[in-house]
Chains A and B, each alone.
Chain A
């Protein structure tokens, strides 16, 4: 586990004994107002994810899996129900507080990588540390380079994202998601834009991270990948169609 600097003061310690769930969705309902009238995207979702789990959320397009992901990341708020993530109740938090919380507690990986095009690879990785005021510039650079090395992207550190392949960009995006050493990684169709070989290598990276104590929740429509995750949750019509009881955590506690 990378531990290049200490920002424990900014982050509640992760419990190492008798851990509680890292994600709890309780009766989450999400309703959108559309031109055609109200649209129910989530219809009372209950979900629990334990620390160290690798959960794949699968479902068809429009099933509500991305909405569920937005609930967990605090990118969107439920109409009803409660969302608890890393011990924080997100349900009534303000936008600013949510952003700050996100920066420390979770890393997000997007389908289209979403690297900032005008920043170099290493600068993209340093950005979350910059926003969360973690470490000084030297420490941030050192950590970013270490993460890139881990992703085998050191040689690309000074390139702009546009010069990289999709797979390389996704590796950088993963390094960026790990920048603030969050306990939870949320990946939205992380392999959806990649060829199968690259997708495999990215998936392997997630497995490695889980082995190192991270919790990974991956939204995907690829059933093969979902099957290879620790647990698969099927979402259909805004509901969890096949709730699966969480297995025992692969590793208890995260040495941080």
Chain B
């Protein structure tokens, strides 16, 4: 049989369902948000990592001159190499409309489809790929505008476009998701490649090193060894890619995204803590006289404290019952969303024990710890004071009271509402903190979203051209430029050259690949966003401007330094004159800008171009599309081998697509945090009205009409809402700025252009006022429904 004191605890829970629901929801929402994020984070990272490891990812990928199986065998025989596999990666384009094309890369799979390194798994349809048909990576279907069983038109640079069936799909975890890379990926056989016009040779070596596969220095040393071997054999190394060891290409965006989500989850828990302190504090205040009676009956302080700690723990257990299944569902949905976006399969979703443990701690320890202060405050109160109850207003008028008295033109009920607002300052501070934090996170999340797109627009706007045409080989500028200008949509054209280059370190080793752009120093098509130093000048000799992520790849490089850049076998010194902000993940190859004159002086190719940047009459997506189609038609007609045409609108769309995932997650978090904050206000208003039931009865007994009572209660709610909104708005200024900075630098290599979201501020004001109205009207309605006799008898 349960002791009466524990029965009291249970009945206190059961007899006040509204209050119990408020406390339980306060805890549950915090634990749910926190649990969802932690579950999503733990499961997704684990599954992504496990799935990726199962593909036996390459430690290093070396692109070199065409080669055959003999070279693969030679590399495989090297002592430091565990596995080596020859690959053929072919840049191509897929037709997505009458005159629209999607940039893509096709990989040659062995006839049996079996790969040792970077294992490609069959997904649906035929496997392995038969001749004269293709397989498409499942995440690329949308980008390629195709589906299993459809026909697809593929064109290799310099060759005729051919149409062939999509007979199957694959799942290739070694590739970044198409939405993030902006490219579509497919697979074919050597025979199909031959039919499309490609050579039946390998051009990439995918290698798994022996020894520590996580040690980048070791992998680089092995890569250097292989490079030396290739060079000794007279081959040119075009590119050496050492991806982050054993890390999925999309994993790079996770830490920043998850750090932001974890911060939001922790804030939800913190807000929830404030609410718990408020509600448990209110319960204790309400039961102060009962505590006094229990003391009078012989209850010791620790016995009473034990009862209220048990009550807090019971709230926690109830919250856990709600939060665990919800966070399971939330985690499942978050993981499902992330896995769809990042092309990872999560086959085994279980709430991780560590997350369950964290939820258990959060649900039980947080309310108990939060309740400790009010429990200690009330239970340590002498029996006489406890018996007297704790409903008295402060004896001394405060400065705020005096101010309210002095302000003219306020009605009596408004004055009373204002005084009531500031009556319990501790509770008010916690409510404001909860609501303001909720508001600040809400506004910051939406500001981050807005800033992402502002930065994107700014980045796109720095490109003053409308359409970029890349050729499969260089052409004479004097020939091709006039052809472009014959197209009515084109207004001006600028020629540049592109190449891949490598920085050479002091010890002779080479760094990561650089994407080099040689353009006129006085370019009118590009307005660089300088982070440091200056842009190229026509008078410069061998000067270079780098994107800021170069500092991550080669720490120590600064403006004024002279670095050695290698293109092919030609090593040249270049003086760094500036760094520019480029919106791209830091892991992307750094960009290096040099003047076209300096480049051609050193590497040759004077008067030639492989890339044209063209300004068009219109600047909207439709004009861009029309111009791109007209340019393609004209250039093809004149016999130019176009590899790729892309407009600024398309670039923007590709980048914007990458932000969709972040946007959706941030909006979701903003809504959840808003709910937590709103719940806090609702709880506080209910408690405030409940506590003043007797006072309301007295007011009504002395003639206050229902309207006056309602006005007092609702005004109080509005005052709290507006105060919280003001504080939250002020707090959101530095918070959103810090979030934008961390997010931009962590994920996009450049601090985001802070674009404070005023619509979010307005939406939050509307939300808090609505919450305040509902949260105060409901208890006010209950209060005016009671008869004066009932209210005065209220204990």
B-contacting residues of A (Cβ < 8 Å)?
35, 70, 73-76, 95-96, 98-100, 102-104, 108, 110, 114, 116-119, 123-124, 126-128, 130-132, 137-138, 141, 176, 180
Q: A73-B296, A118-B11, A131-B299 are in contact. Are A98 and B4 (CB under 8 A)?
A: no
In chain B, what residue has the closest Cβ to A124? Answer: B4
Q: Is B382 a contact of A102 with CB atoms below 8 Å? A: no
Instruction: Report the minimal beta-carbon distance from B795 to chain A, rounded to whole angstroms.
Output: 7
Q: A127-B4, A130-B5 are in contact. Are A35 and B395 (CB under 8 A)?
A: yes
Instruction: Report the minimal beta-carbon distance from A33 to chain B, rounded to whole angstroms.
Output: 11
Neighbouring A residues of B387 by C-beta, 8 Å: 75
B298 within 8 A of partner (CB):
yes
Neighbouring A residues of B1 by C-beta, 8 Å: 137-138, 141
B180 within 8 A of partner (CB):
no
Q: Is B298 a contact of A132 with CB atoms below 8 Å? A: yes
Kindly list 9 other residue pairs between chains A and B, CB separation below 8 angstroms, not including A103-B297, A116-B294.
Answer: A73-B296, A76-B383, A95-B383, A96-B301, A99-B295, A126-B3, A127-B4, A128-B298, A130-B5
Q: A70-B384, A114-B293 are in contact. Are A123 and B4 (CB under 8 A)?
A: yes
Q: Which of B5, B295, B298, B302 contacts A180 (CB 8 A)?
A: B298
B8 within 8 A of partner (CB):
yes
**10 residue pairs bridging A and B, Cβ less than 8 Å apart:** A75-B296, A95-B382, A98-B383, A102-B295, A114-B293, A118-B8, A118-B12, A124-B4, A131-B299, A176-B297
Neighbouring B residues of A103 by C-beta, 8 Å: 297-299
B608 within 8 A of partner (CB):
no
A-B residue pairs, 9 tightest by C-beta: A103-B298, A118-B11, A123-B4, A131-B299, A76-B384, A137-B1, A114-B293, A75-B383, A128-B297
User: Interface code B548-571, partner A: CB below 8 Å = 1, 0 otherwise?
Assistant: 000000000000000000000000
Q: A130-B3, A141-B1 are in contact. Are A99 and B300 (CB under 8 A)?
A: yes
Q: A75-B383, A116-B290 are in contact. Are A35 and B396 (CB under 8 A)?
A: yes
Q: Is A114 a contact of B289 with CB atoms below 8 Å? A: yes
Q: A95-B382, A119-B4 are in contact. Are A127 and B11 (CB under 8 A)?
A: no
B303 within 8 A of partner (CB):
yes
B7 within 8 A of partner (CB):
yes
Q: Is A118 a contact of B15 with CB atoms below 8 Å? A: yes
Report the separation of the CA atoms of residues A124 and B4 in the bound assembly, to the nearest whole angstrom.
Answer: 7
Which of B11, B297, B395 has its CB near the most chain A CB atoms (within 10 A)?
B297
Q: Which of B5, B298, B395, B396 contacts A102 (CB 8 A)?
A: B298
A-contacting residues of B (Cβ < 8 Å)?
1, 3-5, 7-8, 11-12, 15, 289-290, 293-303, 380, 382-384, 387, 395-396, 795
In chain A, what residue has the closest Cβ to B1? Answer: A137
Neighbouring A residues of B293 by C-beta, 8 Å: 110, 114, 116
Report the separation of the CA atoms of residues A73 and B383 in the bound assembly, to the nearest whole angstrom.
Answer: 10
Report the separation of the CA atoms of residues A74 and B296 in the bound assembly, to the nearest whole angstrom.
Answer: 9
In chain A, what residue has the closest Cβ to B10? Answer: A118
In chain A, what residue has the closest Cβ to B395? Answer: A35
Instruction: Report the minimal beta-carbon distance from A79 to chain B, rounded to whole angstroms.
Output: 13
Instruction: Report the minimal beta-carbon distance from B192 to chain A, rounded to whole angstroms.
Output: 79
Main secondary structure of the interface of A (DSSP, over half): helix
In chain A, what residue has the closest Cβ to B381? Answer: A95
Q: Is A99 a contact of B7 with CB atoms below 8 Å? A: no
Neighbouring B residues of A114 by C-beta, 8 Å: 289-290, 293, 296
Report the separation of the CA atoms of residues A123 and B6 in the bound assembly, to the nearest whole angstrom.
Answer: 11
Q: Is A131 a contact of B296 with CB atoms below 8 Å? A: no
Q: Which of A96, A110, A119 contacts B8 (CB 8 A)?
A: A119
Instruction: Report the minimal beta-carbon distance from B384 to chain A, rounded to whole angstroms.
Output: 4
Q: Is B301 a contact of A99 with CB atoms below 8 Å? A: yes
In chain A, what residue has the closest Cβ to B5? Answer: A130
Instruction: Report the minimal beta-carbon distance from B265 to chain A, rounded to whole angstroms.
Output: 35
Neighbouring A residues of B395 by C-beta, 8 Å: 35
Report the separation of the CA atoms of residues A119 and B299 in the bound assembly, to the nearest whole angstrom.
Answer: 16
Q: Which of A104, A117, A123 contacts B795 (CB 8 A)?
A: A117
Instruction: Report the minimal beta-carbon distance from B231 to chain A, rounded to whole angstroms.
Output: 85
Q: Which of B294, B300, B380 contacts A127 (CB 8 A)?
A: B294
Report the separation of the CA atoms of residues A180 and B298 in the bound assembly, to the nearest whole angstrom.
Answer: 10
Q: Is A119 a contact of B298 with CB atoms below 8 Å? A: no
Neighbouring A residues of B8 by C-beta, 8 Å: 116, 118-119, 123, 127
Neighbouring B residues of A110 by C-beta, 8 Å: 293, 296
Q: Is A100 a contact of B383 with CB atoms below 8 Å? A: no
Report the separation of the CA atoms of residues A119 and B290 in the bound assembly, to the nearest whole angstrom.
Answer: 12
In chain A, what residue has the closest Cβ to B15? Answer: A118
Neighbouring B residues of A95 by C-beta, 8 Å: 295, 301, 380, 382-383
Instruction: Report the minimal beta-carbon distance from B395 to chain A, rounded to whole angstroms.
Output: 5
Instruction: Report the minimal beta-carbon distance from A193 to chain B, rounded to whole angstroms.
Output: 11
Q: Which of B5, B11, B15, B380 contacts A131 (CB 8 A)?
A: B5
Report the separation of the CA atoms of residues A176 and B296 in the bound assembly, to the nearest whole angstrom.
Answer: 11
Report the separation of the CA atoms of residues A94 and B295 in the bound assembly, to the nearest whole angstrom.
Answer: 13
Report the separation of the CA atoms of residues A123 and B299 in the bound assembly, to the nearest whole angstrom.
Answer: 15
In chain A, what residue has the closest Cβ to B298? Answer: A103
Instruction: Report the minimal beta-carbon distance from B290 to chain A, rounded to whole angstroms.
Output: 6
Neighbouring B residues of A127 by C-beta, 8 Å: 4-5, 8, 294, 297
Q: Is B382 a contact of A131 with CB atoms below 8 Å? A: no
In chain B, what residue has the closest Cβ to A117? Answer: B795
Q: Is A96 a contact of B297 with CB atoms below 8 Å? A: no
In chain A, what residue has the closest Cβ to B795? Answer: A117
In chain A, what residue has the closest Cβ to B379? Answer: A95
Neighbouring A residues of B15 by C-beta, 8 Å: 117-118
In chain A, what residue has the closest Cβ to B380? Answer: A95
Neighbouring B residues of A119 by C-beta, 8 Å: 4, 7-8, 11
In chain A, what residue has the closest Cβ to B295? Answer: A99
Report the separation of the CA atoms of residues A100 and B296 in the bound assembly, to the nearest whole angstrom.
Answer: 9
Q: A99-B383, A116-B290 are in contact. Are A126 and B4 (CB under 8 A)?
A: yes
Instruction: Report the minimal beta-carbon distance from B388 to chain A, rounded to whole angstroms.
Output: 10
Report the separation of the CA atoms of residues A70 and B295 in the bound assembly, to the nearest whole angstrom.
Answer: 13
Neighbouring A residues of B290 by C-beta, 8 Å: 114, 116
Neighbouring A residues of B296 by C-beta, 8 Å: 73, 75, 102, 108, 110, 114
Neighbouring A residues of B7 by C-beta, 8 Å: 119, 123
Report the separation of the CA atoms of residues A119 and B296 in the bound assembly, to the nearest whole angstrom.
Answer: 17
Instruction: Report the minimal beta-carbon distance from A150 to chain B, rounded to whole angstroms.
Output: 19
Report the separation of the CA atoms of residues A24 and B387 in the bound assembly, to the nearest whole angstrom.
Answer: 24
Q: A118-B11, A119-B8, A126-B4 are in contact. Are A131 and B301 (CB under 8 A)?
A: no
Neighbouring A residues of B294 by C-beta, 8 Å: 116, 127, 131
Report the separation of the CA atoms of residues A148 and B795 in the bound assembly, to the nearest whole angstrom.
Answer: 25
In chain B, what residue has the closest Cβ to A134? Answer: B298
Neighbouring B residues of A75 by C-beta, 8 Å: 295-296, 382-384, 387
Neighbouring B residues of A73 by C-beta, 8 Å: 296
Q: Is B297 a contact of A102 with CB atoms below 8 Å? A: yes
Q: Is A100 a contact of B298 with CB atoms below 8 Å? A: yes
Neighbouring B residues of A76 by C-beta, 8 Å: 382-384
Report the separation of the CA atoms of residues A166 and B109 in the bound assembly, to the nearest whole angstrom.
Answer: 91
Neighbouring A residues of B4 by C-beta, 8 Å: 119, 123-124, 126-127, 130
Q: A35-B395, A119-B8, A124-B4 are in contact. Are A96 and B289 (CB under 8 A)?
A: no
Neighbouring B residues of A176 by C-beta, 8 Å: 297
In chain A, what residue has the closest Cβ to B387? Answer: A75
Report the separation of the CA atoms of residues A115 and B163 in the bound assembly, to the nearest whole angstrom.
Answer: 88
Q: A108-B296, A127-B294 are in contact. Are A137 and B3 (CB under 8 A)?
A: yes
Report the separation of the CA atoms of residues A141 and B3 in the bound assembly, to the nearest whole angstrom.
Answer: 10
Instruction: Report the minimal beta-carbon distance from B392 to chain A, rounded to whole angstroms.
Output: 11
Instruction: Report the minimal beta-carbon distance from A169 to chain B, rounded to whole angstroms.
Output: 12
Instruction: Report the minimal beta-carbon distance from A255 to chain B, rounded to whole angstroms.
Output: 23
In chain A, what residue has the closest Cβ to B299? Answer: A131
In chain A, what residue has the closest Cβ to B14? Answer: A118
Q: Is A104 a contact of B384 with CB atoms below 8 Å? A: no
Report the separation of the CA atoms of residues A117 and B15 in the bound assembly, to the nearest whole angstrom.
Answer: 10
Instruction: Report the minimal beta-carbon distance from A213 to chain B, rounded to whole angstroms.
Output: 21
Report the separation of the CA atoms of residues A152 and B443 in the bound assembly, to the nearest whole angstrom.
Answer: 65
Instruction: Report the minimal beta-carbon distance from A18 to chain B, rounded to whole angstroms.
Output: 29
Neighbouring A residues of B302 by C-beta, 8 Å: 96
In chain B, what residue has the closest Cβ to A136? Answer: B1
Report the separation of the CA atoms of residues A138 and B296 in the bound assembly, to the nearest whole angstrom.
Answer: 24
